[in-house]
Chain A
Amino acid sequence: MTATMAAPESDLATAPPRWRGPLLVVSRWVLALAGALVIFSALLLAKGANPVDAMLAMVSSTFTQQRSVEQIFIQMSPLVLGALAVAVPARAGLTNVGGEGQIIIGAVAACGTFLLLGESIGGPVLVLLMLVASALAGAAWAGLAAGLRLLAGVNEAISTLLLNFVALDVLLFLIYQPWRESPTGQPTTLELADSAKLPVLAGTSVHVGIVLAVVLVVVVHLVLNHTRWGFRVSVAGGNSEAARRSGMKVPILLCSALLIGGALAGLAGMIHFAGVEYKLRPGFGSQLGYTSFLACWLARHRPFPILLAAFTFAALSVGSDSLQLDSGVPAASINVLTALILLAVLGFTASRKKASA
């Protein structure tokens, strides 16, 4: 709170020449990223892999094959939506750590809609219904946290976090019992009918989720920065006392921001389900929510940079598969690089917020 209010003043007082600002930012970022790469290389070296070879192979197999590039766009779509689900509540000063659970519940709702209506209707109408159901379910899941905050003053960072584990148990219960396709085989649900899968963009394997993601980035940007609601949410998030005094219904503003966040995360679950996995299984969408949270932080909660951050993390994730194949390093170790990048960025570039810590 203090930081956002004090920042403009201190900027004026100590502002370096205009061109130096961006240059400093860029050089900090380059330093941060280079530092992360150096540490990751050292770790690879310690594991007996040649880091230069490993990473060159990773980059070349990620960006030179059409399949991999398409994979990046496929994987970044839910990350973008999941990150927006953090960004909108963040504007209201809320921390939504519940992306993981909201994504799962969104996918569960989409799957339930398919299981319920898949026989009678199909095609675009069904897909649309699944989208609506997932958004509503995600919003409802976030709504639990919002309700707890309004009624009992429970901090939303804690409640959304706990609800992640509840959502996971709901998912496991459904796929092990009522929705299990066959009692003997793998615990999964019935595979989505072809007509209910997300259509792909012509000539590629990329599903339309990426279009939805980009559109929603623009919409969220416009809503946050150019509508009355967006303005009020920012005020309520920045200085709730001032907002209250000027007659805003702060609890409703906070609540609506969290609900919209939940809806976006629910959509992320739906497009990952109907665009990639086609069935629910244990471990569905694992870590999508947490990765989205970090992507949102990398983008400093701003919609357009979220696209870049999600692209980066998606590329890392696609690259990790080639890392495993070529260098025999476990794919999960790419989490190290993801974390190092974020830690470096937090450490190198957050110093202006120092006063508010």
Chain B
Amino acid sequence: MSLLEDVMGGGVRGGTSIMYAALGETIGERAGVINLGTEGSMLVGALGAYAIAVETGDPWWGVVAGAVAGGMLSGLHAYLVVRRGASQFASGLSLLFLALGLTSLFGAAYVGQPVVALGRWDVPVLSDLPVLGPILFRHDPLIYLSYALVPLTWWVLFRTRIGLLVRTAGERSDSLEVNGYSAARIRAGAVVVGGMFAGLGGAHLSIAYANAWFENMVSGRGFIAVALVIFAVWSPLRVMGGAYLFGMAIALGPALQARGSELNQFALDVIPFLLTLIVLAVLGRRTLSAAPAELKRVFENST
């Protein structure tokens, strides 16, 4: 395999869990709610998926369980933020701690347990394409599902009535109320769906990518996802590109090492975070002006 195929294919594999989470976060933020608990939703999603896959022997039930677990955790966020008016940052971080504790409490039993994972499934014909084949079409089914979910999310957000309601909840929630809709319900729904996506991202991590469960295995990917949404200016299609970029930065180190190149591991690990900071700095004011208006209010008066 060439370095290009290796790094880009690895970028797709490693970036997909981040992409699911970031896609979900995009939906929530479009409705005006930021969720730092995304990391937590990924964690419970990863454990939920792993546990159910181990117990039932069917990874697809694991996928369902991961989405449900992620959605349930973000449901708490929705309740606290939308219903009780709690701080989005404090609630999100609390949920991360809740997830860390819960997955430590119930995950210990699953450390080292073998699981029937979602295996690689090469797409007939397409996987034989030169370059594109190994990069895009020699993966597990959850990755193919994400190829469909990204445009679907875009279409729902920008071309359907539901999407319009979600975006209005983030831009002008008062006009929703005037027309007889409940902005609170729309937001809560968006946050829960966002959490389900994050749960799928966690599921991808444990039953398709690592094929293992270990404590705190999400290790910052949920936070990257939150940053990525801003990086991608709240657009699902750019989320996809950004997530693969992150995945590639992560895949570059091992790929170079396999070819005998001595590159500092930590210097490579830091690339995605620096990249986001730099992009935020360069796009700074432009990203902020593109932010959903009600989300901006959270930022401007974040306490």
Contacts and interface: CB of A to CB of B under 8 A. Distances in A.
Interface of A: 1, 43, 47, 90, 93-95, 97, 148, 151-155, 157-159, 161-166, 169-170, 172-173, 176-177, 237, 290-291, 293-294, 297, 301, 329-330, 332-340, 342-343, 346-347, 350-351, 353-357
Contacts of B215: 332
Contacts of B93: 97, 290, 293-294
Nearest to B303: A90
A353 B302 contact: no
A93 B86 contact: no
12 contacts: A1-B301, A47-B105, A95-B302, A163-B273, A165-B270, A334-B101, A335-B97, A336-B101, A346-B84, A346-B94, A347-B80, A357-B85
A293 B88 CA distance: 13
A152 B101 contact: no
B277 A346 contact: no
Contacts of B299: 155, 157
Contacts of A293: 89-90, 93
A164 to B, nearest CB: 8
B273 A165 contact: yes
Contact of B277 (A157, A162, A351): A162
A46 to B, nearest CB: 8
Contacts of B94: 294, 339, 342-343, 346
Main secondary structure of the interface of B (DSSP, over half): helix
A163 to B, nearest CB: 7
A155 B300 CA distance: 8
Main secondary structure of the interface of A (DSSP, over half): helix
Contacts of A176: 265-266
Contacts of A342: 90, 94, 97
A169 B266 contact: yes
Given A347-B80, A350-B84, A355-B85, A161 B281 contact: no
A173 B97 contact: no
Contacts of B174: none
Contacts of B114: none
Given A154-B284, A334-B101, 13 more contacts: A148-B280, A154-B280, A163-B273, A163-B277, A169-B273, A173-B266, A339-B94, A339-B95, A339-B97, A343-B98, A351-B85, A354-B84, A355-B85
Interface stretch (B139-147, B202-210, B219-227): B219-227
Contact of B303 (A154, A166, A237): A237
Contacts of A301: 303
Contacts of B55: none
Interface of B: 36, 76, 79-82, 84-87, 89-91, 93-98, 100-102, 104-106, 108, 215, 220, 223, 226-227, 230, 264-267, 269-270, 273-274, 276-277, 280-282, 284-285, 288, 299-303
Given A159-B280, A161-B226, A290-B97, A336 B102 contact: yes
Give the 6 A-B CB pairs with smallest separation, nearest first: A152-B284, A335-B101, A336-B101, A357-B85, A332-B104, A339-B98
A177 B80 CA distance: 44
A158 B85 contact: no
A343 B76 contact: yes
B280 A350 contact: no
Given A152-B285, A329-B105, A157 B302 contact: yes
Contact of A148 (B104, B230, B277, B301): B277
A161 B84 contact: no
A26 B145 CA distance: 50
Nearest to A356: B85
Contacts of A291: 97
Nearest to A156: B302
Contacts of A340: 98
Nearest to B82: A357
B303 A347 contact: no
Contacts of B303: 90, 93-95, 237, 301
A157 to B, nearest CB: 6
Contacts of B269: 169, 172
B267 to A, nearest CB: 7
Contact of A155 (B76, B82, B288): B288
A158 B226 contact: yes
A162 B101 contact: no
A148 B97 contact: no
